[in-house]
Chain A
Amino acid sequence: EDQVTQSPEALRLQEGESSSLNCSYTVSGLRGLFWYRQDPGKGPEFLFTLYSAGEEKEKERLKATLTKKESFLHITAPKPEDSATYLCAVPRSSNTGKLIFGQGTTLQVKP
């Protein structure tokens, strides 16, 4: 069964304190792993696509990496404006238009 699990559920950091968010997945024939950021009351904002183990993508203070079983979102020297819920998702194994989302990690960065 396709499954995506994110940890931790919530993370509090001080400004400048680097950390990582985890996304573990179980899916047959991975066709991409996707990271989104969601601010309260807003729609998710697409961040990264990763397709193969070893791939890395970077955007400002964020770096996403992928292995055969999990993905990490590394946050380097975070700022309060990085506070948000971060969602990862994979397409369902059957070739349909459905994404399987993890439950998300809510990040709070304190000044």
Chain B
Amino acid sequence: DTEVTQTPKHLVMGMTNKKSLKCEQHMGHRAMYWYKQKAKKPPELMFVYSYEKLSINESVPSRFSPECPNSSLLNLHLHALQPEDSALYLCAKSVGGIGNTGELFFGEGSRLTVL
């Protein structure tokens, strides 16, 4: 099962709000990822979780806080964001693990707008 479900699909928030993005998948994985994608640009890696532990943080500002409560869930907590953080946030999983990082299965993304 390669399905990855992200909620919400759309989110509008003010710069003082706290919100969370959720990602859920089933049937196993070894690594899960958060990517950020701006319009007409490729996805940019933010975080990687391997076996539910944070393995990579691509120097992401602390206003983004990832969490992996269990093997099926990945959250991205948002606080005090800036308008330039508006983007499509993508969750992905790989069955092959962090060393086999190319075959990723992405969710449909959460479109975030920061006012």
Check B107 against A43 for contact (C-beta < 8 Å): yes
Contact in complex: A43, B92 (CB < 8 Å): yes
Q: Given A87-B42, A97-B55, A97-B56, is A43 in contact with B102 using a C-beta cutoff of 8 Å?
A: no
Please indicate the chain B residues that have their CB under 8 angstroms from the CB of A80 in the complex.
none
- Residue positions of A touching B, CB distance < 8 A: 31-34, 41-46, 49, 87, 89-91, 95-99, 101-104
Cβ of B55 and Cβ of A44 under 8 Å apart?
no
Interface of A is mostly: loop
Please determine whether B42 and A104 come into contact, CB atoms closer than 8 angstroms: yes
Q: Mark B41-55, 1 if CB is under 8 A from A, else 0.
A: 111010010100001
**B62 part of interface (Cβ distance < 8 Å):** no
**Tally of A-B Cβ pairs under 8 angstroms:** 67
Interface size on B (CB < 8 Å)? 29
Please name all residues of chain A whose beta carbon is closer than 8 Å to the beta carbon of B103 when the two chains form the complex.
34, 46, 49
Is A95 a contact of B99 with CB atoms below 8 Å? yes
Distance, CA A90 to CA B86, complexed state (A):
26
What residues on B are CB-neighbors of A32 within 8 Å?
Answer: 100, 102
A-B contact pairs, 13 of them (CB 8 A): A42-B108, A42-B109, A43-B106, A49-B103, A89-B42, A91-B101, A96-B98, A97-B33, A97-B45, A97-B98, A99-B45, A101-B43, A104-B42
